[in-house]
Structure 1
Amino acid sequence: MVAPHPSAEGQGMSLSEQKSFSQLFTEPTPSPIHVRPVTTYKGEAAVIFSKQDAEKLAAPYRWVLVGKFSHGRPSLEEIRKIFTSLNLKDQISVGLLDYRHVLLKCASEVDFNRIWMRGIWQLGKFPMRVFRWTRDFHGHKESSLAPVWVSLPSLPIHYFDKHSLFSITSLVGKPLFLDSATAAASRSNKARVCVEVDLLKPICTRVWISVEGEMRFWQKIVPEEMPCYCSACWRLGCSVDECRKNSSEQHVTHGMR
């Protein structure tokens, strides 16, 4: 067996190998939290983070989506090329979570909303569904958060201001953006706002609006094309009534009686 020759630096490794080795000791980005002490839970070792700690750790991932493939997927390089070819405001980072899921990290809210709103992307012969990443993400459980358009019919035109509409629709979920006609106040019969909705929670369908000492009225909030979400199989687009998993579990339960 031939022994490797030392490099010109006399260290027995190439320049690229030396660089990789030195990177192991590069000063990391400062942590937003303190080291947590080890404790116990039910007699076993445990580390318990506060909710504030978890939120600080998740802050860099605020504009992150999860792409899910159900029947194979392209290579990471192919996925990166496809998103690089789009007319996005900034580049996005694509990373592998597992054989079905990829992480799409956006640098701007504009790109995040554009990719999320489309719902399903056709990447070559592979469809990819996208969901908002959350701290409780698990591969077997799709996020119940979804972007939904809501309309405010017959809303007085002076309430078409962005902050006014965000105040009103915050009762439904987290307001994301206005449609172009609403932003330009060019359609006076209704305002439309895209809102991040948790599909596991009931949706508010009206709100009381008043001006101190002046007019007051109930304003209808009309969701457009609310997607289904199944709490039995944890999938977007599936309903509890039609869920095969829920039906099979009910069949087993009845059979045991």
Structure 2
Amino acid sequence: MAAEDGGTGRPSFTNLVAVVPQPILEMVLAPGPLKMVEGEVYFQFTKEEIARSAEPFRYSVVLKFLKNRPLLDAMRAFIHSLWGLTAIPVVSSMRRPHNVFVHMANEADFTKALSREVCEINGIFYHAFRWSPDFNEDAEPSRVPIWVSLQGLPPNFYQEPFLNILMGPNGTFIRRDNPTRCTTRTDGARLYVEVDAAKPPLTHFWIGASGLSSSRKQEIVYDTLPAYCSSCNMQGHNTRTCNLGKAGKNGGRKVGRKGHSETKILINDQG
């Protein structure tokens, strides 16, 4: 058996580059008839079928680099050395040259990858997004992971079940920082939460009915809250400053459809 790096329990880099990719588990899917509408071929799957097909990739993230991304082997070595994962992830290219698909083996590694405070590899910065079946490489999701602070929150609420409930109206709780988890800092909780940047942020909530002397009003402080543009579906600016929106107002050129038919995949909400 190959030696492990420094006794950390993680595979050596030799094993990292030599690992044999494993095929995904095939799901059983009943064949369906070919469907056409107005000369267009389309396929329709139920929400349950789409969810089952995505199950092998539930611990996957997409890294969108702001500049040309590093080589894949360099990324694999960096991730292995500095991310502290317990298993070897699958790192692969995507259609857009700036995007990289990283498939983790378990939830703990997925949480580490999504919640890194310094989002760079070999000096090239990136945005990390949770992958889902409707992920669009030509747009950026409005749901983004960010750090928030609940200043003055009593330490008895630092337990994960409480934090899951308290963050429910604001987004999806991902994890606590170590001082919160170990209660070595009790002036407030610091959490990593996935929020919808296209919506106004929740500024506070109440523990107990609002206004009662026995209740507590809890403020939410956001480390950073990225702007999101609903015109071009990109982060970093809003609709007022969007170049695409300005071009539309000034009379942008409309692109015509190609003459051949297109294949479409639809999701049947009726199940």
User: TM-score of the superposition, structure 1-length normalised?
Assistant: 0.74
* Structure 2 residue 59 is matched with structure 1 residue 63: yes
**1:39-77, Cα deviation, whole Å (9 max, x unpaired):** 333453321111122111112111111123454333333
| Paired position in structure 2 for 1:85 | 81
The CA deviation at 1:135 is 1.7
The CA deviation at 1:32 is 5.3
The CA deviation at 1:121 is 1.7
Between structure 1 and structure 2, the one with the greater Rg is 1
Q: Aligned runs of 1:162-177 on 2, under 5 Å?
A: 162-177=160-175
Structure 1 residue aligned with 2:113, among 112, 115, 138? 115
Q: C-alpha separation between the residues in 2 aligned to 1:244 and 1:40?
A: 37
**1:193-221, Cα deviation, whole Å (9 max, x unpaired):** 2111121233332333239xx94343333
The CA deviation at 1:30 is 3.6
Q: Helix, strand or coil: the match of 1:241? A: helix
Q: C-alpha separation between the residues in 1 aligned to 2:24 and 2:56?
A: 15
- Report sequence identity in percent: 29
Q: C-alpha separation between the residues in 1 aligned to 2:143 and 2:34?
A: 33
| Paired position in structure 2 for 1:6 | none
The CA deviation at 1:100 is 3.0
2:43 alignment partner AA? V
* Structure 2 residue 175 is matched with structure 1 residue 181: no
| Paired position in structure 2 for 1:94 | 91
Q: C-alpha separation between the residues in 2 aligned to 1:185 and 1:204?
A: 25
2:245 alignment partner AA? N
Question: What count of residue pairs does the alignment treat as equivalent?
Answer: 224
Could you tell me which runs of 5 or more consecutive residues in structure 1 were left unpaired when the two chains were aligned.
Answer: 1-26
Q: C-alpha separation between the residues in 2 aligned to 1:168 and 1:116?
A: 21
* Structure 2 residue 223 is matched with structure 1 residue 227: no
| Paired position in structure 2 for 1:244 | 243
Q: Helix, strand or coil: the match of 1:49? A: strand
The CA deviation at 1:141 is 0.6
| Paired position in structure 1 for 2:256 | none
| Paired position in structure 2 for 1:197 | 195
Could you tell me which runs of 5 or more consecutive residues in structure 2 were left unpaired when the two chains were aligned.
Answer: 1-22, 253-271
1:156 alignment partner AA? P
| Paired position in structure 1 for 2:154 | 156
Q: Helix, strand or coil: the match of 2:55? A: helix
2:61 alignment partner AA? L
User: TM-score of the superposition, structure 2-length normalised?
Assistant: 0.71
Q: Is the 8 A contact 1:63 1:112 kept in 2?
A: yes
The CA deviation at 1:174 is 0.8
